[in-house]
């Protein structure tokens, strides 16, 4: 699982309101990516981050689109053992999301598989140079197939189809720096069970509470 990837510089952070949900998200400032190509993160590093989040290491992907910044709070498990992550455009309020899953896509399955945000609408498909462009009503979606992984790219809040296509073309296995940033907001899972000091030494009884004045 090695390939070239772009590594962003360490950038200052800002806090902005997420327009669709009214919550705060931490975003890196736009325009901080460098053009230097480096080796993708090792399978071991990816597994170390992904396994604790319930995500298959083979389904960890990221992207890079001008004007959009990753919202680390959005990163988490998706369908089955896949992942989901969202990028936010501070200037326009547009958002794009990638969702990963195991599988392949053919001309037949492309039409038969519902589009994420329009599950009841008929799907039309076009193969655009190895990237599937899918439409269902007004909803646009791009799908990339990489090494047994399906990566879906969807938009919200007015994300332009050209931005979705750019995100699909830029899908890649994250570098070490991108991997760290991708999972930076996930809570740390405790390495050992938390010990309680008020449990009985024998049996499985409830915690022991001291008796009050009334017994």
Pairing of strands 4-8, 149-156: unpaired
In a domain, 27, yes or no: yes
pLDDT digit string, tens, across residues 92-137: 999 999 999 999 999 999 999 998 888 889 999 999 988 999 999 8
Our count of domains for the chain comes to 1
What does the pLDDT average to over 63-71? 96
Q: 87-91, 164-168, 172-176, 211-215: which range is least confident on average?
A: 211-215
| DSSP E strands, the chain | 4-8, 13-18, 23-28, 33-39, 69-70, 76-77, 83-88, 95-102, 124-127, 131-136, 139-146, 149-156
Q: Residue 187 domain-assigned?
A: no
CB contact burial 127-159 (16+ within 10 A = b; e otherwise):
eeeebbbbbbeebbbbbbebeebbbbbbbeeeb
Question: Residue 189 falls within a domain, yes or no?
Answer: no
In a domain, 133, yes or no: yes
| pLDDT tens per residue, range 28-38 | 333 343 334 55
Q: What is the mean pLDDT of the chain?
A: 78
Range of the domain at 16: 4-182
Q: In a 10 Å sphere around its CB, with 0-12 CB exposed, 13-18 middle and 19+ buried, how is residue 2 labelled? A: exposed
- Identify whether 33 is part of a domain: yes
Query: Is-contact 10 184, C-beta < 8 A?
Result: no
Residue 67 lies in a domain: yes
pLDDT at 54: 92
Residue 134 lies in a domain: yes
Is 15 inside any structural domain? yes
């Amino acid at each position: 699982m090695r390939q070239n990837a772009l590594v962003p510089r360490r950038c200052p952070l800002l806090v902005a309101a997420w327009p669709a949900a009214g919550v705060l998200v931490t975003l890196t400032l736009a325009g901080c990516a460098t053009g230097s190509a480096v080796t993708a993160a090792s399978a071991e590093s990816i597994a170390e981050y992904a396994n604790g989040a319930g995500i298959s290491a083979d389904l960890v992907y990221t992207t890079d689109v001008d004007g959009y910044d990753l919202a680390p709070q959005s990163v988490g498990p998706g369908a089955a053992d896949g992942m989901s992550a969202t990028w936010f455009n501070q200037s326009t309020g547009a958002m794009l999301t990638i969702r990963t899953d195991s599988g392949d896509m053919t001309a037949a399955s492309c039409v038969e598989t519902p589009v994420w945000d329009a599950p009841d609408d008929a799907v039309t498909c076009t193969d655009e140079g190895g990237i599937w462009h899918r439409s269902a009503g007004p909803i646009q979606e791009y799908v990339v197939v990489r090494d047994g992984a399906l990566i879906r790219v969807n938009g919200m809040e007015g994300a332009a189809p050209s931005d979705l296509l750019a995100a699909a073309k830029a899908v890649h296995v994250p570098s070490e720096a991108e991997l760290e940033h991708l999972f930076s907001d996930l809570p740390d899972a405790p390495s050992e069970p938390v010990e309680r000091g008020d449990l009985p030494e024998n049996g499985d009884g409830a915690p022991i509470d001291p008796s009050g004045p009334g017994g």
